[in-house]
Chain A
Amino acid sequence: MEQTLTQPKTTSPLRNIVLFGGLLAVLALVAIMAVNLQKRESVDLQNQQAPDFTIPLFAQFEQDSVTLSELRGQPVVVNFWASWCVECYKEAELLEQAWQDYKDQGVVFIGIDHLDTEKEALAYMAKYGITYPSGPDMGDKASQAYGITGVPETFFIDKNGNIIHVQIGPIERAPLYTLLNKLVTEPGS
């Protein structure tokens, strides 16, 4: 007895290439989405470990650069600012005054100049009498690590390197001093 059977057709190499390419494209899209999901905004950093950074300081300061991780054990206030930022003017003198009031208690203030030109940045610092360490954000790395959404933004970092508060926009005197009191009174580990 004879039987007629139908054999499946063998797959063509072109079809395999197309399928493989499609799979690669999907994987690339998934990878891009995963990278985007990992990006955090500054507010997400509250109660998180502060990302480390090193910034060069403007020539007027004794030190060449400052690294956050080297300041562990001291409260740190990191202020992102720019000379073109109108809102930054509102808190500039207050921040300087606060630094003068708290530097003897070990609080470190760092200004990170965001997307600014040196000439205007130095003029801004002279105008508002800024004397705490400040420098340009080379390659915009610190701004990206902290996910800032604009300037000014200020991060209050405790002695253990945790961010206890993220201030978006200029800060007022009362909350600033409340936060600074909290930073100096909390024991470090």
Chain B
Amino acid sequence: MARTKFFINLIFVTSVLVTALALLAPVSLAQDPDYDAINRIAQKMNCPTCTGINLADCRTQTCAQWRDQIGDLLAKGMTEDEVLDYFVNQYGTQVLQEPPKSGFTLWLWVLPVLMIILGAGILFYTMRKWASPAAAPETVTVTPGPTASDDYLSQVEKDLDFD
């Protein structure tokens, strides 16, 4: 009898604990922002009020607010890309660490590659020029036709002929 009572109490206590955990777990999950996810997104963004500082590393109040905002948006169920899109829409593309590969900012990606290709071309051309022996200028033999000045010169030579 005592044993049955013990089991009934055990089942009761266990069910109360399980119910309590089930009720508390979602609340605690909802209250704790996913700091890893926030940092992952923040690392892809710039501090809006300073230069060259990552949003994840910046200690200003603005950045703290922005990181909270990222947490709020993630809690609403937004994906990483959706959060980034929200910030771009709200504050412009300059919030991104990497400029988007479209429109005018595409040049920021293309130009360095073009410059490298151009530099390699100049280097190749210069080295090839240095490596090859000085090329002899191309020569052609031209036989000029008789001209008025040639007749004059012949006459002068004839007149000067002392023999």
Interface residues in chain A, defined as those with a beta carbon under 8 Å from any beta carbon in chain B: 1-7, 9, 14-15, 17-18, 21-22, 24-25, 28, 82-84, 115-117, 119-120, 136, 138-141, 144
Q: Give the residue name and chain of the B residue nearest to A20 (CB).
A: B118
13 A-B pairs besides A6-B139, A119-B72, A139-B91 with CB distance below 8 A are A1-B144, A1-B150, A9-B135, A14-B121, A21-B121, A115-B48, A116-B62, A116-B65, A117-B69, A119-B68, A120-B65, A139-B88, A140-B94
Contact A18:B142 (CB < 8 A) given known A84-B62, A84-B65, A139-B92 = no
Q: How large is the interface on B (under 10, 10 to 19, 20 to 34, 35 or more residues)?
A: 35 or more
Q: Give the residue name and chain of the A residue nearest to B69 (CB).
A: A117
A18–B121 contact, CB under 8 A?
A: yes
Instruction: Give which listed residue, B62, B68, B107, contacts A115 with CB less than 8 A.
Output: B62
Which secondary structure dominates chain B's binding surface?
A: helix
A48–B68 CA distance with the chains assembled, in angstroms: 39
A22–B118 contact, CB under 8 A?
A: yes
Interface residues in chain B, defined as those with a beta carbon under 8 Å from any beta carbon in chain A: 48-49, 60-62, 65-66, 68-69, 72, 88-92, 94, 107, 111, 114-115, 117-118, 121-122, 124-125, 135, 137-144, 150
A22–B91 CA distance with the chains assembled, in angstroms: 36
Chain A residues in 8 Å Cβ range of B90 = 136, 138-139
Distance to closest chain A CB from B157 (angstroms): 12
